[in-house]
Amino acid sequence: MKVKIVKNSDNDYLGLIGCVGYVDEVNGAGAQEIPEFVPTRHELLELAKYWQKVCLENRYFWYLEWQVGSTDLRQEAFAQRRLNRIAEALGDDVVKSATDEVWEEFGKTCDPRVWNHFRNNLPPA
């Protein structure tokens, strides 16, 4: 299967290495920018929440499983770049508030003891 690799504003150095590293939303067809569509402020906030949740899910997985993969690393780097650009557009405080909301909601889905250890950077419970 031939995959289409897409370059965009935030995926430098997140491409394939040999046959490893294809992540559709980072460097595949899903990463294609659509200049004809400009997101609203509300949509940018939702994007900030989305990318923050991607980061949080990956970090929580790394914490629990003590392993990381090439997909996770690419998603993390790409998500941070997107969050930084959204913060430039809307302000750090706005993105921080959205991030706090994601953490609060995600924490409700976790074992409270494990979540507390994760939040406080303690060894896994």
Residue 22 lies in a domain: no
Q: Domain range for residue 51?
A: 38-119
Least confident interval from 23-27, 38-42, 107-111? 23-27
Residue 114 lies in a domain: yes
CB atoms within 10 A of CB 91: 11
Residue 50 lies in a domain: yes
Q: What pLDDT does residue 122 have? A: 84
Residue 19 lies in a domain: no
Residue 85 lies in a domain: yes
Residue 77 lies in a domain: yes
In the chain, the number of structural domains is 1
Q: What pLDDT does residue 10 have? A: 80
pLDDT for residue 1 is more than 60: no
21: left (phi over 0), alpha (psi -120 to 50) or beta: left
User: What is the percent of the chain where pLDDT is above 70?
Assistant: 91
Residue 115 lies in a domain: yes
66: left (phi over 0), alpha (psi -120 to 50) or beta: left
Report, as an integer, the average pLDDT of 77-94: 95
